[in-house]
């Protein structure tokens, strides 16, 4: 396979990623986090309502316990600009939630500070799981590398509406 674009690289890395190792999900409490930037004129793949719908359907199919849904309309380009995101991370540290369901990693982070914070929380097991209807993630070394690459690509790549 020729790799000429970041999207092709992500497709290859997703296929190479090890199968997801299931975390015991019976007692985990998830929060759905959806975001759409209100800054700029960039085209986004999914509206907030579409993201919620897909995340809820995914959670139902996976039998996940969803405790809350957080809607945010702030850019993730620069760190520290999303009060609801910051509160969600604090709630995870305080054991209100164990995992996050988001439509795609680019909804969680488009900057390296917050991307690193999420990966650090996974490493420390403060954040026990991430789920994405549009992206495969395994909470292991390879999965975190793929997640990190996805965050980097979210920072550098303009994603067109499909």
**pLDDT tens string 16-32:** 554 444 446 668 999 99
**Amino acid 67: pLDDT:** 97
**pLDDT tens string 31-88:** 999 998 765 445 556 799 999 999 999 999 999 999 999 999 988 888 999 999 999 9
Instruction: Break the chain into its structural domains and give their ranges.
Output: 6-156
47: closest CA among 60, 31, 33, 34? Answer: 34
Cα–Cα distance between 39 and 19 in angstroms, integer? 36
Could you tell me the pTM of the whole model?
Answer: 0.79
Mean pLDDT of the chain: 85
**pLDDT tens string 91-129:** 999 999 999 999 999 999 999 999 999 999 999 999 999
Q: Tell me: domain 6-156, CATH 3.40.50.1390, correct?
A: yes
């Amino acid at each position: 396979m020729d790799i000429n674009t970041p999207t092709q690289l992500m497709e290859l890395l997703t296929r190479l990623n090890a199968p997801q190792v299931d975390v015991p999900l019976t007692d985990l409490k998830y929060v759905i986090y959806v975001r759409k930037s209100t800054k700029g004129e960039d085209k986004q793949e999914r509206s907030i309502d579409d993201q919620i719908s897909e995340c809820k359907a995914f959670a139902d199919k996976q039998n996940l316990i969803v405790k809350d849904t957080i809607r945010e309309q702030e850019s993730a380009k620069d760190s520290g600009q999303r009060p609801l995101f910051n509160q969600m991370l604090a709630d995870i540290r305080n054991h209100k939630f164990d995992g996050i369901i988001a439509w795609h990693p680019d909804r969680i982070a488009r900057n390296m500070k917050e991307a690193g914070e999420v990966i650090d929380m996974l490493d420390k097991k403060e954040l026990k799981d991430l789920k994405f209807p549009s992206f495969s993630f395994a909470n292991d070394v390879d999965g975190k590398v793929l997640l990190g690459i996805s965050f980097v690509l979210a920072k550098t790549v303009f994603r067109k509406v499909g």
